[in-house]
Amino acid sequence: MKQYYIYIMTNNSKTLYTGVTDDLVLRVYEHKNKLIKGFTQKYNITRLVYYEITSDVQAAIQREKQIKGWLRKKKIALIEAANLEWNDLSEGWDEK
């Protein structure tokens, strides 16, 4: 069964980026290595701080839109409920 990921990444200034993908490891690699032109490259978004998994692509897209529509305060609460220290959840993935 295919999986889809809704994710939030950040930088040292805690600028937030929310996205959706079907390959989280690859997408995080692309962001970390600035292979995707645009916002994440410009703002050095390199730390994965939150993600959710679903098998429904439409649900993933809807959830991404929902989170993007939230105020920053609500996004921070979502992150901190699962990752209080804002640790990079992808740390060590490049070693796999």
Average pLDDT over residues 39-52: 96
- Predicted confidence at residue 93, as pLDDT, reads 85
pLDDT exceeds cutoff 80 at 94: no
| CATH code of the region 4-90 | 3.40.1440.10
Angle at 39 between CA 35 and CA 40, to 5 degrees: 50
Strand order in the sheet with 16-21: 16-21, 4-10, 47-54
Give CA–CA dist 40/59, Å, rounded.
23
Place of tokens 């929310």: 18
pLDDT exceeds cutoff 70 at 51: yes
Q: 51: which strand partners? A: 7
- Predicted confidence at residue 40, as pLDDT, reads 94
Task: List CB contacts of 91: < 8 A, sequence separation 6 or more.
Answer: none
What average pLDDT is seen over the chain?
95
Task: List CB contacts of 81: < 8 A, sequence separation 6 or more.
Answer: none
pTM for the structure as a whole: 0.95
Place of tokens 């989170």: 67
Phi, psi (degrees; rounded to nearest 5) at 32 = -60, -35
pLDDT exceeds cutoff 70 at 8: yes
Q: When comparing pLDDT for 54 and 95, which is higher?
A: 54
